[in-house]
Structure 1
Amino acid sequence: MTEQNRGVEEILLSTAYPFWDRLTAEERAELLGSAAMAAYKKGEYVHRSDMGCTGAVLVLSGLLRVYIVSEEGREVTLFRIHQGEPCVLAASCLLEAVQFDLFIEAAEDARAIVIPAGVLRPIMESNPYVGLYMYRQATERFSDVMWMMQQILFMGADRRVAIFLWEETAGKGQKALRMTHDEIARNIGSAREVVSKVLKYLAEEGVVSLGRGRVELTDPEKLRKFLP
């Protein structure tokens, strides 16, 4: 790795991880020396239980999806990780409170900086600021998990689809969502058939128009009526 690339990595890591200024010179050097750039194609696994413990992942571009799988094979998306956000749950083996299998995949082509778990472990154990940050990040992510569980348990499919469409279109200043019905279903923890029925109803009401792998928002004000 060139000195220029190493300098860029240090800027990215120091910006993303607030514990950076609390590291010793040796710890910084160790993290920088082990950090590696990674590229993931859409649908490729970033982390799963049989891959071992990945480490801390900082998303540079693209989008990652964190989900669990039921015994029946149903996927439930817990949350997503956007550009500029770190993911500590890919290092779940270092967090004793996380005792269930998590899957992390690229929801779209993505690039990231990965700090291996084997390098993080001794630094977490010797530097309390690093360990505190890891657990705090995990706790904050689990608030996202609780929000998703509330939606699944207490909201109808129409509202869950509406919330997702709003967040991914109007909430981002966009009018179109390039996703299949199956991808939407996996993101909201529902069945494809249910999502298809809701989208068909919304299309009939003039809220959206449907195309192959595409949902376009045609009337944001009507969609608002379906939001909680």
Structure 2
Amino acid sequence: MTFETTFPVWNKLNSSQQSKLLNTLITRKVEKGTIIHNGMMHCTGLILVKSGQLRAYMISPEGREITLYRLFDYDMCLFSGYCIMRSIEFEVIVEAEKDTELWVIPSEIYKSIMDESADVANFTNEIMGTRFTNVMWLIEQIMWKSLDKRLAAFLIEETKIEESNKLNTTHENIANHLGSHREVITRMLRHFQNEGIVKLSRGLIEIVDEDKLYSLVDE
């Protein structure tokens, strides 16, 4: 896939705008675990995922992480180009969860095109609305859902992403996604194991009763 076929509003741009994008576009390949954007320390630019998987998250003053949303093939991250949106004043970190290939559009280039093109401005607003909807959904989950239900939902999501009932992950990693502590997640997973829902081993969680997991989420 090329940038031209992946960027959603490419055909809405004039030839000058298309040339400006292609001449300044940065292609990057990053390994799993790479921090691509580190909050408000720098304005990375807008990220478009060609292939791979990214995680956008925040860190509390106490050092606890929580995942805001994830980015998959052809998804776009605006928060990495926060400097074009002056009203954004919270720090989002973007990390590669898998080896990833991506394009970076310099923020000043994107802003100049957005100022010229109503189609790009509307597209940007749609993405921003989607991301804030994701964050509001997360807040609702934290406020109204118990941790066991959130953990069950996370495990279900992971099986869909990995297309496997065997998840190569750690309790620490799950805690970071859910904004919890490793010890709490370990206790909860052991409870799930006692209930016959999962089987635990070092670095591996196997879902052995998917129906029970779904029932827990739906209760």
Q: Would you call these one fold, judging by a TM-score over 0.5?
A: yes
8 Å CA contact 2:12, 2:119 repeated in 1:
yes
Amino acid at match of 1:131: A
1:170 CA displacement: 5.0
1:96/1:35 Cα in 2 relative to 1: closer, same or farther (>3 Å)?
A: same
1:51 CA displacement: 4.4
- The reply on whether 1:222 has 2:212 as its aligned counterpart is yes
- TM-score, normalized by length of structure 2? 0.93
How many pairs are equivalent?
218
Pairing partner for 1:141 from 131, 144, 150:
131
Amino acid at match of 1:76: I
The DSSP-based 3-state class of the residue aligned with 1:226 is: helix
Cα distance between partner residues in 2 of 1:14 and 1:88: 19
1:14 CA displacement: 3.6
In the TM superposition, what whole-angstrom CA distance separates every residue of 1:15-62 from its partner, at most 9, and x where no partner exists? 332x21221101101101111211122221111235421112111222
Query: Hey, what does 2:30 align to over in structure 1?
Result: 40
Cα distance between partner residues in 1 of 2:111 and 2:87: 15
Cα distance between partner residues in 1 of 2:69 and 2:49: 14
Query: Hey, what does 1:84 align to over in structure 2?
Result: 74
Cα distance between partner residues in 2 of 1:225 and 1:114: 41
Bigger drift between 126-135 and 153-162 goes to: 126-135
Amino acid at match of 2:11: D
Bigger drift between 20-29 and 121-130 goes to: 121-130
Cα distance between partner residues in 2 of 1:51 and 1:44: 16
8 Å CA contact 2:35, 2:93 repeated in 1:
yes
- The reply on whether 1:25 has 2:15 as its aligned counterpart is yes
- TM-score, normalized by length of structure 1? 0.89
1:97 CA displacement: 3.2
8 Å CA contact 1:157, 1:194 repeated in 2:
no
8 Å CA contact 1:68, 1:75 repeated in 2:
yes
1:189 CA displacement: 1.6
- The reply on whether 1:61 has 2:51 as its aligned counterpart is yes
Bigger drift between 44-53 and 201-210 goes to: 44-53
In the TM superposition, what whole-angstrom CA distance separates every residue of 1:123-143 from its partner, at most 9, and x where no partner exists? 111222212211220111111
1:13/1:216 Cα in 2 relative to 1: closer, same or farther (>3 Å)?
A: farther
Q: What do you get for the CA RMSD once the two structures are aligned?
A: 1.6
- Give unmatched runs, 5+ long, in structure 1: 1-7
- Give unmatched runs, 5+ long, in structure 2: none
